[in-house]
Structure 1
Amino acid sequence: MKRLMKKGAALLAAVTIATTIVAPQASAASFKDIGGYSATTQAQINMLAQMGIVKGTTPTTFSPAVEMSRGQVVKLLGRFLIENGLAKVPSDWKTKQRFKDVSTGAKDQELLMYGSVVYDKGIFVGSNGYLMTSDSLTRENMALLMDRTAKVLTGKSFVDMHKAEGTKHQVSDLSSAKAEAREAIAAMNALGVSTVSKYKPKTHLQRVHLVTFLSNALDVAMKYR
């Protein structure tokens, strides 16, 4: 957990520095296509890239608005857990099949490996046992994944933290989310993991959304450890 704190502190420092800069493009972003985002978001993208958690689509582009597939989310969450010392690659990742549609002989061995990590941690267990690798992931389903990730980070889910604090959320379209995701969406907003009042639960998750969620989750984790 010291590793998590060290990296979380580095991320917060980078974000603090970035937010003192007037012009977003002055944040010295290594990716050339993120200048339209806030200095804070640029710092979050660059820091998670330096941590090895996120990767660019090319050496100079991040493609922040590109939608993420379920397989891509699994890989990123797996790296996030391992890089922060929260999980290890299971010794049987090559021989034990976790998802019905990802065999041990899968061509994408990285997916097989990180899939075993998030599956064993109870974060991503698939839909009726299927990963459905190429399908897009909705923001409401990502809220459920983030709630489970929080429990690995701190021992408590965002929903548990939210209930303990008694804080109020500011989500205006919560009723449009499926029932099982509403508490997680509300908790993420109340704790500052999600900062928008209109969450748009049915829309597909973009690369920049996941970076923001993970960065803010690290911030929350430092408060609750």
Structure 2
Amino acid sequence: MCVATTIDDLYDQLADVGRSAVRSGLALASGGNLSARLPGSDRFVVTAAGTWLDRLTPDDFSTVAADDGRVLGGAERPSSEWKLHWRTYQRRPDVHAVVHLHPQHAVLVDALGEEIRLVTLDHAVYVRAIGHVPYHPNGSDELADLSAEQAEQHDVMVLAHHGCSALGADVGMAFRRAANLEEAAVATYRLLTLGDRTLRFPAEHLARLRHV
């Protein structure tokens, strides 16, 4: 998925990711929300409240000012999690897309108090490190602020008993990170059922990848 250069391309990419997320089991019905900065603009679009991610059209997005969070156009009511996206963009000017989904294995492993282990090369390349945000109600200032704080050090965060937030320079990369987080969680869960508590990607190679 290439970097979108027009708003129509951006809507198409977000709709494609929404369909992929539902098809992959990373979101159910209207669970989760997606956003992306508008090309060459100080605004971003975010899915509107109650939208189903596998049925997105251009009418299902609100346009929000990146500086002060005002709704400037599109759907009148943005997602209840719009502040999470907004404050992440404020902290990370290099991030152009935020994908908030509800990956079940990632949430489960985290709720068990277990570390989600990076096992494969893809996990190491795309996830690298996982931030953790304690539970706060959805749409709350606390959740938005703590997620943005974790985003200063991580591109992927698990939101306790809730979901994940994955960031990228483009929509495709943000979704790829969310998908690899869930795959790593599935691998961790399987390892735990086999009684293994140590296997993970070699630490020395992971350290090198983090500096690439």
* TM-score where L is the length of structure 1: 0.30
Is the strand fraction higher in 1 or 2?
Answer: 2
Is the helix fraction higher in 1 or 2?
Answer: 1
* TM-score where L is the length of structure 2: 0.31
